[in-house]
Amino acid sequence: MLEDNKSYLNDLNDAQLSAVLKTDGPSMVIAGAGSGKTRVLTYKIVHLVNNGVDPFEILALTFTNKAAREMKLRISSMIGESDSKSIWMGTFHSVFAKILRFEAHKIGFTSDFTIYDTQDSERLISSIIKEMSLDKDVYRSKSIRNRISTLKNNFITVNGYFSNNELVESDNLSRKPETGNIYREYNDRLIKSNSMDFDDLLMKTNELLNNYPEVLAKYQEKFKYILVDEYQDTNNSQYLIVKSLSDRYQNICVVGDDAQSIYSFRGANINNIINFRNDYDDIEIFRLEQNYRSTKNIVNAANSVIDHNKNKIDKEVWTENDFGDKVQISSNQSDIAEARSICQKIQTISDSKLSDIAILYRTNAQSRPIEDSLRLNKIPYRIFGGVSFYNRKEIKDILAYLRLIVNSNDEESLKRVINYPARGIGLVTINKIIISAQKNSLSLYDTIKRHKELNIPFSNSVSLKLQNFIDLIEVFKIENEKLNAFDLTKELLNKVKIIDDLKKDESPEGISRVENVQELLNGIRDFIEDQKEIADSNDNLSEFLSNVSLSTDFDLDYQDEDYISLMTLHLSKGLEFKHVFIVGLEEDLFPSALSYNTRSELEEERRLFYVGITRAKENLYLSYANSRYRWGKLIYCEESRFLNEIDKDFVDVINQIEFGSISNDISKKKILFKPKGNLRKLSSSIPENSSIKINFSEGDKVSHEKFGNGIIVKIEGLNNDTRATVKFSKFGEKNLLLRFAKLNKV
């Protein structure tokens, strides 16, 4: 314990020390990436206690329980557990829930009120929508919950909503005129059940402080010192609470980095930190600019990117670390080639564990080709913040349809899709089918098919719905005999209207699900293209499903072993890795096509890129594809503008368009592969009556987009049927049709 001596201050650099020693008055600590932000916060609290401040008078607010726990542990080790426990430290929601427990009676609640989580809220809203006889496809519970959450976080009450013509008109134009009435009923239900949702914890605290001056005075007096972590992530409601509580003594210290403000979709307002100096008199600003995490090249690359933003607080992050390797930028012929090149690079990193490596992407859907390549190369990985691609609900739903078409006796698949999208076949009906199937020793599918013959007591309406479902599957069983896997899946999605159903959810999660379906189609298209290469193969649905099953089984093999981390750029914030790959750096993908409307949106995308860059400690690899499938169509991609914003002094550019050829010449930065016209022609079949010129011989060393390097051991056949047996170093022998084979001499 360090109660009396100040030796801990020796751990701080000059900028950190100045921030810690500032005990009274308002201050803002602009903490660049890797600059020791948590240390400053922790030591500042310790220093306050060591200088006579009562721990009960300190309020420390964080955004995650993890951050709060880590700070408590550090503080406890320095000042002792007793004093540490006396500090009011936790997330915004946990701290203000505690205050509300004490003061609940003033706003019509009892101290034992229930807190509804997101799922509880959605279930309640779903019930209200049903009771109001509203179209659940228009009034989706998740979408309405997000709308209500936004209103509450902007301190807009039910009465405030109805008095705001702009808000009302906006919902009318969205064909959701009953949104306000749902909001009113939802709030009334919460009050009647003595419950609050997460957003109420902030909104009701604001209400308490605004309407009860004695309560405000009480907590102003109690919290003489207030510290806020990640201030750039605060929303309007959080801002108002902090401003009110700190107004008396103004001993407030906020810590954050405007360059890492990436959560506007959650309501975060970057202007809270940008304009903080305008909220208080005699404010001191401390800049933590020394980066302890990354090499000079990585730090300088990050600086050169973020300098392109106009709405920012000036700072110059620097480091005493070595220069290290330059940032590598690679162009790749396709997203498949991009994934393969990443695997190749990973296999050359010998000085680190797999857990030292992270692959970051803009959207979850981008994980699919990366996962496929990692599995193919038997490299263990883990998806963070979500589930692996083929285990995502919307993907499993579509695969269930496909499996049922191939095998109508697949009972689990049938139960999964018989009422998805909703077609009015409920649990009671399904249970009757299960009982009858067991009684008659039939599959569920055959039982439904024969339900009239079996005299199962269904109404005419239910009977018609069951027959329509059977007719749907039977039609696609016939189609499966004629169509390849891609065309059949595309036709199925159009017929069943799964995409239309998903698009009704306009939340970020809903958009992500649509992107995943798009990526599934891309994956099926990739599968078909691969099958063209391999002699005596087929591209039917059964083969594709078999391929998927074999892929997903791999996930079970490496549960407890060292693994590579895969996650979105948003989830990477606060983390660090020795080696970081950022993929898919293409216009419309990153920056997102949705960010082009305003400068602020584009600048947030740039801040997101900055966050990704600054996760890297030693090596940073940036890559993009010159072509990728979207909704099954091959399109040309343009490299992200962000890549051109990195100062060329800090990068090496690697063109991997020609497999096996690598160039570090900065003058060759411009992409070499620029197809013109309709790219789908590139992958079209060569007419059967044409002939091709064979440029390969036995003994040639070749490279393949998917299988890597190998040697041609045999060539046989004529013209379009010419085949090459290639022995690949990692995947053994493959018998490839040369008219389709993606081979390059090395």
Active centre residues (catalytic) = 37-38, 229-230, 260, 615
- Phi/psi region, residue 58 (left: phi>0; alpha: psi -120 to 50; beta: rest), is beta
301, 646 contact by CB (below 8 A): yes
Q: Which amino acid appears at position 391 of this protein?
A: N
274, 311 contact by CB (below 8 A): yes
Q: What is the DSSP letter of 532?
A: H
Q: What is the DSSP letter of 686?
A: P
3-class DSSP state of 655: strand
Q: Which amino acid appears at position 255 of this protein?
A: V
Return the number of other C-beta atoms located less than 10 Å from residue 439's C-beta: 11
Beta bridge partners of 579: 357, 619
Beta bridge partners of 254: 28, 228
Cα separation, 307 vs 315, in Å, equals: 10
Beta bridge partners of 330: 623, 654
Cα separation, 359 vs 383, in Å, equals: 10
Find tokens 């279930």 and name the residue.
123
Cα separation, 45 vs 50, in Å, equals: 9
Beta bridge partners of 329: 622, 653
Cα separation, 94 vs 63, in Å, equals: 10
Return the number of other C-beta atoms located less than 10 Å from residue 342's C-beta: 25
23, 604 contact by CB (below 8 A): no
Report the run of H or E that residue 635 belongs to, with start and end.
strand 633-636
User: What is the side-by-side order of every strand in the sheet holding 27-31?
Assistant: 88-91, 58-62, 225-228, 252-256, 27-31, 284-288
Rounded to the nearest 5°, which phi and psi values hold at 730? -110, -25
Report the run of H or E that residue 581 belongs to, with start and end.
strand 577-582
